[in-house]
């Protein structure tokens, strides 16, 4: 960065490209967390890991270390509220966030599991991320997911949303119908979602769980265009 660029960054209290800086920090955290997850699974004697007990605390600690070395330095997860209550009732909080001194925020959603049943929740998280960007509650939003490498290889439901692609939400709705139906049964239902979204793979790293190859990937999620898809409830 040039001296002028550094001065502008300092005055602004945020990087010139918050999305790009979040790409870097989220990916650095993934690379640091991966070997820790291998060691954790071995220490616990497990042949699987999940989001709540393993990925969440390990990844957040790695993200705090990455953020501590950044300038300007963002806070890690000072607030996780989505700010989407009007257009997406009960959308839920995000799992991690980065917030710079000028209040610029980037959100992240974590997913971790050994089967498509767990990772299918990415279908909920991807439009939620795109919505946060469209509605201006975040400068960017990312998916961070860990799964066995076999699921990545065949682009199974869930991990497919961490690849470079554009998606029609009508198609995502149709293919993930069972997952969205479950969310609605639990009382979660948007009013509308971006009609199209883009996923941009920004980083991935391999690790092992009980000698079985896994992969931890990071993708940025962006709304495409200005169109909206009105959400027709699956349950009426």
Asked if pLDDT for residue 97 goes beyond 70, the answer is: yes
Cα–chain-centroid distance for residue 216?
11
State how far the Cα of 33 lies from the Cα of 61, in Å rounded to an integer: 8
122-180 pLDDT, tens digit per residue, is 999 999 999 999 999 999 999 999 999 999 999 999 999 999 999 999 999 999 999 99
State how far the Cα of 97 lies from the Cα of 169, in Å rounded to an integer: 25
Name the DSSP class of 1. Answer: -
Asked if pLDDT for residue 15 goes beyond 60, the answer is: yes
Sheet holding 75-76, edge to edge: 75-76, 96-99, 105-112, 140-148, 212-230, 192-209, 165-168
Which of the pair, 7 or 169, is modelled with greater confidence? Answer: 169
pLDDT at 187: 86
165-215 pLDDT, tens digit per residue, is 999 999 999 999 999 999 999 888 899 999 999 999 999 999 999 999 999
Q: Judging by beta carbons within 10 Å of its beta carbon (0-12, 13-18, 19+), is residue 185 exposed, middle or buried?
A: exposed
Asked if pLDDT for residue 86 goes beyond 90, the answer is: no
Asked if pLDDT for residue 46 goes beyond 90, the answer is: yes
174 in Cβ contact with 2 (< 8 Å): no
Q: Judging by beta carbons within 10 Å of its beta carbon (0-12, 13-18, 19+), is residue 108 exposed, middle or buried?
A: buried
State how far the Cα of 190 lies from the Cα of 232, in Å rounded to an integer: 9
Quote the tokens at residue 18: 């918050």
pLDDT at 89: 78
């Amino acid at each position: 960065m040039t001296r002028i660029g550094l001065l502008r960054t300092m005055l602004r209290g945020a990087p010139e490209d918050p999305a790009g800086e979040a790409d870097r920090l989220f990916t650095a955290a993934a690379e640091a967390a991966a070997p820790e997850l291998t060691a954790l699974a071995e220490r616990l004697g497990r042949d699987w890991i999940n989001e709540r007990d393993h990925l969440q605390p390990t990844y957040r600690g790695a993200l705090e270390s990455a953020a501590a070395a950044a300038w300007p330095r963002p806070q890690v997860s000072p607030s996780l509220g989505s700010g989407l209550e009007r257009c997406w009732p009960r959308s839920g909080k995000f799992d991690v966030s980065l917030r710079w001194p000028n209040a610029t925020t980037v959100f992240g959603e974590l997913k971790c599991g050994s089967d498509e049943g767990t990772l299918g929740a990415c279908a909920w998280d991807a439009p939620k991320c795109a919505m946060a960007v469209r509605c201006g509650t975040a400068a960017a939003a990312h998916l961070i997911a860990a799964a066995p490498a076999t699921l990545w290889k065949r682009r199974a439901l869930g991990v497919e949303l961490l690849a470079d692609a554009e998606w029609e939400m009508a198609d995502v709705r149709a293919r993930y119908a069972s997952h969205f139906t479950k969310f609605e049964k639990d009382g979660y239902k948007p009013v509308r979602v971006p009609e199209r979204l883009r996923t941009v793979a920004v980083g991935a790293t391999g690790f092992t769980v009980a000698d079985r190859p896994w992969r931890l990937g990071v993708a940025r999620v962006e709304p495409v265009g200005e169109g909206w898809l009105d959400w027709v409830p699956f349950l009426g």
